Chains A and B, each alone.
Chain A
């Protein structure tokens, strides 16, 4: 199939979907969906001729058709999820199967005061007026065909609201699980996370797979941090070698809020995660770190866009890239400073390691500065493991493979070891090692 035929198939599915939609959506949502579909038809999928997409080979999602997923029963018991869950202490987890909220699998200690969470579809059915502002904000719209597709046909997702009295140790896990399926599924979560003023919270979002079926997750997440909020957010994309994942996340930070975010993507046939952080009021700060890793014929792309729209805002980025086999890692990190703002501090480091002759890394750190009271730096490196370090380790009696593994561990350790608390860190390292060991 070519991209036009795939696009047409989505138009067809959109019409079916609109007719079948069980809970009648409010008129504004119907209009919103129809408008997005019209724009998707005009815009189509992005192509490599577009600056922001020049390194992405999009054929795995634009030349294969995917079928919109339906709520399904996959016969899982809550205990089956144990290896996939992080919470050993206080907290809650929301489980989504093929993008649909699964209340029977979701659980947790009693929700603390001021915390609301659940499936987006239910929330929309219960109180559409509450979601109207977040959903109809045109400015919050990333502008490409995939987000239009999500906007037109999103089905469910996570709704999380965290209040100020939350215990900072109380962790929310959003577990997105993809099951084995007969047809390649299109999964379109639409997530909304709100952290209220003065709240300290921890959220871990994991995308994992139970089978080896191909699926395409096209996610759109909105993150709102109110004044003085502090969010520790970890995104873990690990959907297996056949996963296609295109995620767009937009963060808006109010005054004195702090976002500490870890972004991790392990392989996938095609993984592209966009993160836009708007530091929209003075004192807002974001610290992003992460790892992108690709092997075999995998392609992993991080697209970061930090926007300093207010004075006295700070951003830090620390990223690692690893490419093995025929894998391809792409890092695009943009820092934008608005005209007229003052006292901006921004730093960005991306270090990338190539482990095989066929692997490729494309890095594009960007600075766009429109004000003069700034201190902005970035650094980028691409190289292979240090020969001298390898030689040293081998001279101490380690075989070549062990020596290399040690260097890789140290290399990714810079970002993997930042995860808090310790069980999360251990879980991450374990998943990473499993990924490295997979054929």
Chain B
């Protein structure tokens, strides 16, 4: 595309969530050892088994090396220069009601467009708000409890529903699964726990809003969602962080368990601070997300819109164990300026008649680096498994890059696996058409990009789809030319 300096210079990108909340925080000193893990566990008043699990993960992690196989490049992370716990509550006690929460915190969420007061909140969305290492508040809990749904912070779940958590925690992403998952298992501080009882259709969207505020901290949350037989839940996840010059690590783990006939829809709009135009600062988003379709006819779908983070490195996966289970992955990943993304999915077909579909849209602009990496594995026992994958990459500008690395492993002759991928820039003819209809270059690009992503955005719940569209437009501002 020929540079259009007038357009390029007229636009500048803004990250509107980049403010810092000045709040008294209880933050552990930087560094990691067994003592730190014991203190995290102690602060959260955890039972002994949880501490034992954490320490085992930590010892395992010590023997692991940081993976280097992906296409992202970053300087070595000093794990002793990170604080592994920061709580906005000085007295280490989680407030019982919103009235006890520091108004500054509530104002922060207000500013992010996530009011925590149930009267003001969006109808039909229950929110668990996580601020640095702890959950601030969880809305609509009472209403959900009437249906038998448990929706609370992970810390609360470990205390109140210990057996349920213990039964499922680490069964999908074992504590030693990979380097970052092991680190998370050792130091995870909060996150969301969700249980939908048999036959219940969750009446509202559940969501978690993650916010990193404190400097030089890492956020390590852990989410566990269990959908019991024939239940249904739709879950949303959003995230933001202040603008800072140094990189911050976010290494989360999400585990989904779908039992017989259950369905989990998990949507993410990831908008961590991406760093500035020169690539200074931004979040390293190294996340392990995995779901298991344990029962027959169960379904899990991952939908993600990845616009933020300096580096995104995640592969939301589905293990298709139950007969006739179905996994879906829909993704839009945008990289601009010096952002890097290596993202995709794994669909592991173990059961008969399992199906999966993958739809990935990657957009690179500026010096952005975007890679789709996905595995479709059909095991010997997965008779009549079916997969279709489509990965499209759009390039805006001559300095960006787009890579596609699909891995297809088929061990069953009755399988049908199809993969297709395209990489191209926006067609001159498309742009010309849009412009001769009176659109500005920038509007024309936005229109074409939205069209490119439409299939994925359609999978998002309505409130998120609107948000995602705005984010896309903001992220790509200044990319024309």
Give the B-binding residues of A (Cβ under 8 A).
Answer: 51, 55, 339-340, 352, 354-384
Contacts and interface: CB of A to CB of B under 8 A. Distances in A.
A357 B419 contact: no
A367 B417 contact: no
B423 A374 contact: yes
Interface in B379-423: 380, 393, 395-423
B375 to A, nearest CB: 10
10 contacts: A339-B399, A354-B415, A357-B413, A365-B419, A367-B393, A369-B403, A377-B421, A382-B408, A383-B418, A384-B414
Contact of B420 (A357, A360, A378, A384): A378
Given A374-B424, A381-B418, A381-B419, A363 B408 contact: yes
Contacts of A368: 401, 403
Contacts, number: 117
Contacts of B401: 339, 368-370
A380 B406 contact: yes
Nearest to A362: B409
A359 B396 contact: no
A51 B375 CA distance: 14
B64 interface: no
Nearest 10 A/B pairs, CB to CB: A354-B413, A372-B395, A367-B404, A363-B408, A376-B423, A382-B417, A372-B425, A380-B419, A383-B416, A382-B410
A377 B378 CA distance: 24
Nearest to B397: A372
A361 B408 contact: yes
A286 B225 CA distance: 51
Interface of B: 1, 69, 378, 380, 393, 395-425
Nearest to A351: B418
A169 B303 CA distance: 57
B403 A364 contact: no
Contacts of B400: 372
A378 B417 contact: no
Q: Which of B380, B393, B401 has the most chain A CB within a 10 Å cutoff?
A: B401
A380 B378 CA distance: 15
Nearest to B413: A354
Contacts of B397: 372
Contacts of B416: 381-384
B409 A371 contact: no
Nearest to A384: B413
A368 B405 CA distance: 8
Contact of A372 (B396, B407, B413): B396
Nearest to B394: A372
A377 B402 CA distance: 12
Contacts of A340: 398
A372 B380 contact: no
Q: Which of B378, B411, B416 has the most chain A CB within a 10 Å cutoff?
A: B411
Nearest to B395: A372
B421 A379 contact: yes
A22 B95 CA distance: 87
Contacts of B424: 374-376
Nearest to B365: A372
Contact of A376 (B399, B409, B422): B422
Nearest to A336: B403
Given A367-B402, A373-B398, A360 B69 contact: no
Nearest to B389: A380
A372 B421 CA distance: 16
B413 A359 contact: yes
Contacts of B409: 55, 360-362
A51 B410 contact: no
Given A370-B401, A372-B396, A379-B420, A384 B415 contact: yes
